[in-house]
Amino acid sequence: METIELMGGALTLSQVEAVARHGARVVLSDEAKARVNRARELVERTVKEGKVRYGITTGFGKFSETTISEADSVKLQKNLIMSHSCGVGKPFDPEIVRAMLLLRAGALSVGHSGIRLSTIETLLEMLNRDILPVVPEKGSLGASGDLVPLSHMALALMGMGPVTYKGKVMSGEEALGAEGLSPVSLTAKEGLALNNGTQAMTAIGALALWDAENLVKTADILGAFTVEALTGIVDAFDPGIHLLRGQPGQQASAENIRKLLAGSGLATRQGEKRVQDAYALRCIPQIHGATRDSVGFIGGVIRRELNAVTDNPLLFPDRDLVLSGGNFHGQYPAMAMDFLAIAASELADVSERRVERMVNPQLSNGLPAFLTRDGGLNSGFMIAQYTAAALVSENKVLAHPACVDSIPTSANQEDHVSMGMTSARKAREVIQNVTDVLGVELMCAAQAADLRGAEKLSPAASAVYKLVREEVPFLPEDDVLAPYMARCSALISSGRVAKAAESAVGEIA
């Protein structure tokens, strides 16, 4: 099993995915341990000297003017986590909780949070032993970070909140005890270090980004497959056209499609059958390219946020300073996730239009109605297109930005919030919808290929076609489509469609 060493500020997206979805283990580097200990010494000195520092010797939010004695500092941290654990809704999926634990430990390991080394190590033990806090998905405003979900995470660390362990829900104390671990009793600054930050929304955002980057590539593959199924015109992808536009994503998408269509016996030339195709085919590089460039921008924001120190206050041991600021504000991931929902939605929008062209006999350039030879008795793929249309319509609602809203809290002390958790949750749902729409296109393109002549497919499309036929048969008459659609979606989300195409033509951008 892969082991990832937390250096503090060097986490990659692939490492997050490996921990969240594949159970990679995580350990702290010696350098990170030393930084954590230096910051902790500053916290203890601040408490001992009675200096007034937010969250260490004061209350929180509007209570920042209330001084807390050294004797009450432990109770202060415990009260913070208990009072902030007020989430609602269904629990986050295990992969999100694992990513959240990793990102929180990563931020703390940079050494500006003042938490004890032993507390981080227990957090990582929970991750490595798959003791996963039960974290409700709703309740975060995205400033001061993800207070509610991160508090539920910390509550389990304290042994007070529920966890999932070996397939069962039980108390954190029981699960920790089963592994020979003890619940953490928080001391000065530790509660605030654990629940102040953007790691919950960023955990969702990181996995959504990973999936979106796969979808951008896969959408080009499926677009090219459908071009073949519809005897589309290759001239629209000539490099000269896309060079004149100057947009890098468009040029990359056009290059992908040229590579994917190479050797096709189904694609046509300008004037051979038609002068030009509809936009859903002809403008694939322009549409996919815009999404591609948008996802590139979003990727920069999220990759930086993976390593961001976002609690408050922050400690600077080399300067002997404890400074209050606002790194917990989730505006960066909030806007990025709203943008991701919009950008990803467009992949589904145009995919559904390509599906419509395959099933509609007035638009399919000779394919039988709804991709079935015995129409009337059989409905064929008619309702699969309905499902794609329903998901596209739902995405229109989900793509409405959450970050443009703000409701002041904490007696107006926290008077602008990001709503980043809502943005992240919406983006994740959009990504799943897009995957399912592309799955419909994949299933339809394979059916169309059989009707058109699969032996004429390009090497890339042939490789993808063969992969699909391992999971989904040609359907000469009606069958229950939902299981086949689910299999096609799984082929896409697993990355197997992209790998199949690349096995034939080499790496696709």
Find residue 138's DSSP bridge partners.
88
Among 54, 332, 465, 484, which one carries the catalytic annotation?
54
Tokens of 168: 């069962």
Q: How far apart are CA 388 and CA 264, in angstroms?
A: 27
Cis before 313 (ω within 30): yes
Strand ranges of the sheet holding 162-165, from the earlier edge strand across to the other edge? 132-133, 162-165, 168-171
Q: Which residues pair with 14 in a beta bridge?
A: none
Q: Alpha-carbon distance 456 to 45, whole Å? A: 75
| Catalytic residue list contains 54 | yes
Give the pair of three-digit tokens for residue 350: 């145009």
Cα–Cα distances (Å) from 320 to 106, 115, 116, 317, 323, in that order, read 23, 16, 18, 5, 10
Residues 6+ apart with CB under 8 A from 109: 6, 7, 8, 28, 29, 32, 35, 36, 120
Q: Residue 286 corresponds to which tokens in the numbers above?
A: 């322009």
Helix/strand number for the chain, H first, E second? 19, 9
Helix (H) or strand (E) holding 503: helix 496-505
The whole-angstrom separation of Cα 183 and Cα 155 is 10
Q: Both tokens of residue 102?
A: 């990793």
User: DSSP for 188-255?
Assistant: TTHHHHHHSBSHHHHHHHHHHHHHHHHHHHHHHHHHHHHHHHTT-BGGGG-HHHHHHH--HHHHHHHH
Give me the active site residues, please: 54
